[in-house]
Chain A
């Protein structure tokens, strides 16, 4: 019973720590996915008197992913009823070139201003439409979600580190007597500390397994998937081997660091 209590008291803070780390990773992935979706839906329209080369534009304006010509056929089709074919032909010749510009990532307001300025510095471009109002609204919402999620993950991380340090103090009290008795009988350093290292390693393994199972199972639940889809967010897939190994590595390093800290404190007493 006591042994189980010993394990649980280590597993819980380690679990919370790993959960917060994996949660941060997942949020980062979800936010990046959401950003990609937003950027796919967002484009700038530019009007140019001369045809534009994508490579030239990419060199002059940083952050441009693609430059796609917008066909003037649709505009001309709509005017077919009202204009004669002769006038239509004249209009076709005099119409400027329209382009849709996709960006690498969702720019901030300042970045958008810079991009607009760069476009306008090209002589042939007469008009740049960034749909700034829509963009700003979306960008602010996106930024708000991002900040909120990182704050939440950061808060959990702080709580878990505090829990681990609290546990460390309990360890100090719990093992001080045992280690001092062993010292009086001439036990070498490794023998005195092996118990804590074992505890740290076993509990690291258990806690990383538990967190992995949780993050592997939850994205497989239909209600969770439907909820994320309703928000227009793609589900982050947990890579069971890679991500479990990462979590195990983090938890082993962290618990061994804490155990070493506890043991060196006990040795100095």
Chain B
């Protein structure tokens, strides 16, 4: 597969008459680290939503992991999502579930046994320094801690691609560095493709990356 994401003149929005993104082209190769930046409300999250199939493009073609998102069936969309690790801006943790159960979610969906899932969840929680809060509930954690749980959940099943929406938006410097290290690690050691939507790229990242900039619904590749 040459491109893990291949968007060709896609227009996306929340209603036919309200396109947020117009005729966007994007090509992302496997193992690439990609940033999509832009002002608030420029449509960064909208692009990300189309990549995991929450929004379908009105026009153009969008291919993710070799699957046509525009004409995808529900069962195939479910299958595709099992290969993705998604970090949401609002974390989207299940409040009735403990932290460890939240992290176990993609593993259980992937068919792993409870024991294997729990072991992997603990490993990830250790990476994000939250193992001691494994049995707590999301509402008992701070915003930053919830963000780290969301990151652990996204990485738990070693996804083909991570789609992260402002993954360090609510974190302090220490936690932010931890998250960037985890993402770099996933790319370098597991070959995961990483797509991050953010306001700004950390200056001390120290890796090669691709940068798209979004303005007025148009996506520019920054060289």
Residues of A within 8 A of B (CB): 2, 177-178, 181-188, 191
Interface residues contributed by chain B, number (CB under 8 Å): 20
Q: Is the CB of A184 within 8 A of B86?
A: yes
CA–CA, A2 and B93, complex, Å: 17
Report yes or no: B94 in contact with A191, Cβ–Cβ below 8 A: no
Q: Are A186 and B79 in contact (CB under 8 A)?
A: yes
Give me the interface of B with A, judged by CB distance under 8 Å: 52, 54, 77-82, 84, 86, 92-97, 105-106, 108-109
Secondary structure class of chain B's binding surface, majority of residues: mixed
Report the separation of the CA atoms of residues A188 and B80 in the bound assembly, to the nearest whole angstrom. 12
B88 — nearest CB in chain A belongs to which residue?
A184
Answer whether A186 and B105 are a contact pair too, CB < 8 Å, given A178-B94, A181-B92, A181-B94. no
B53 to chain A, nearest CB (A): 9
Residue A186 contacts which of B94, B95, B96, B109 (CB distance < 8 angstroms)?
A: B109
Chain A's closest residue to B54 (CB) is A184
Tell me which of A2, A177, A181, A186 contacts B82 (CB under 8 A).
A186
Closest 9 CB pairs of A and B: A186-B81, A186-B82, A186-B78, A187-B109, A181-B92, A178-B94, A185-B106, A185-B109, A181-B94
Q: Is the CB of A186 within 8 A of B80?
A: yes
Verify B96–A185 contact, CB threshold 8 A. Answer: no
Bound form: Cα–Cα A184–B109 in Å: 11
B9 to chain A, nearest CB (A): 26
CB neighbours (8 Å) of A186 from chain B are: 77-82, 84, 106, 109
Q: Which residues of A sit under 8 angstroms from B95, Cβ to Cβ?
A: 177
Contacts of B94 in A (CB 8 A): 177-178, 181-182
Q: In the assembly, what is the distance between CA of A183 and CA of B94, in Å?
A: 12
* Interface contact B108-A191, CB-CB below 8 Å: yes
A177 to B92, CA, bound (A): 8
Complex CA–CA separation, A185 to B84 (angstroms): 8
Nearest Cβ on chain B to A71's Cβ, whole angstroms: 80
Closest residue of chain B to A180, judged by CB?
Answer: B92
- Least distance between B67 CB and chain A CB atoms (Å): 12
A56 to B86 CA separation, bound complex (whole angstroms): 87
Q: In the complex the two chains form, what is the Cα distance from A191 to B79 in whole Å? A: 14
Quick one: closest B residue to A267, CB to CB? Answer: B74
CA distance A178 to B84 in the complex (A): 18
Cα-based distance from A184 to B53 in the complex (angstroms) = 9
Residue of A nearest to B91 (CB): A181
Question: How far is it, in angstroms, between the C-alpha of A170 and the C-alpha of B110 when the chains are bound?
Answer: 30
A191–B94 alpha-carbon span in the complex (Å): 14
15 contacts between A and B (CB under 8 A): A181-B92, A183-B78, A184-B52, A184-B54, A184-B81, A185-B81, A185-B82, A185-B86, A185-B106, A186-B79, A186-B80, A186-B82, A186-B106, A187-B105, A191-B108
Question: Can you name 16 extra interface pairs (CB under 8 A) apart from A178-B97, A181-B105, A185-B105?
Answer: A2-B96, A177-B92, A177-B94, A177-B95, A181-B94, A184-B86, A184-B92, A185-B82, A186-B78, A186-B79, A186-B81, A187-B105, A187-B109, A188-B78, A188-B109, A191-B108
Query: How far, in angstroms, from A183 to B92 measured CA to CA in the complex?
Result: 12
